[in-house]
């Protein structure tokens, strides 16, 4: 299957700072990328969907000013957690799908810890 690389895999940041997570499709053009949040022992909750060159569509309850998503190219999407707080600590996963793709391919995930 196609490869999606997510970086960093782990990050610890201080409360009040911002952290950026990158999601790259390595061998295909990702026209659509998805960002999920996963709490311990829970399912993946869709945060937002982004199409290349367009503004992201956020799910209800997700603060767009706090979770900034950029999808400026067909191979890269970024999620920036702004003014992070301990309650933002979680596992964040991206996935990407090509124009004709049926399934989405997942990155390795990023464990964010805000101290």
Partner 1 sequence: AQTVTQSQPEMSVQEAETVTLSCTYDTSESDYYLFWYKQPPSRQMILVIRQEAYKQQNATENRFSVNFQKAAKSFSLKISDSQLGDAAMYFCAYRSATNDMRFGAGTRLTVKP
Q: Whole-number minimum distance, CB 114 to partner 1, in Å?
A: 19
Residues 6+ apart with CB under 8 A from 60: none
Q: Is 108 in the site for partner 1 (CB under 8 A)?
A: yes
- Separation CA 13–CA 68 (nearest Å): 17
Stretch that binds partner 1, among 18-26, 69-77, 78-86, 99-107 (CB under 8 A): 99-107
- Separation CA 27–CA 114 (nearest Å): 32
Residues 4-43 that bind partner 1 (CB under 8 A): 32, 34, 38, 42-43
Per the document, the length of the chain is 115
| Tokens encoding 62 | 């997700």
- Separation CA 9–CA 109 (nearest Å): 6
Q: Is 61 in the site for partner 1 (CB under 8 A)?
A: no
**CB closer to partner 1, 82 vs 98:** 98
Residues that bind partner 1 (CB under 8 A): 1, 32, 34, 38, 42-44, 46, 49, 91, 93, 95, 97, 102-106, 108-109
């Amino acid at each position: 299957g196609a490869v999606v690389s997510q970086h960093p895999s782990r990050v610890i940041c201080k409360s009040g700072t911002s952290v950026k997570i990158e999601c790259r499709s390595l061998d295909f053009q990702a026209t659509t990328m998805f960002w999920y949040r996963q709490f311990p022992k829970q399912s993946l909750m869709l945060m937002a969907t982004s199409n290349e060159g367009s503004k992201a569509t956020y799910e209800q309850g997700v603060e767009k000013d706090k979770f900034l998503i950029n999808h400026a190219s067909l191979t890269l999407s970024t999620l920036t957690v702004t003014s992070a707080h301990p309650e933002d600590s979680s596992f964040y996963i991206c996935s990407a799908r090509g124009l004709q793709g049926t399934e989405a391919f997942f990155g390795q995930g990023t464990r964010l810890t805000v101290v």
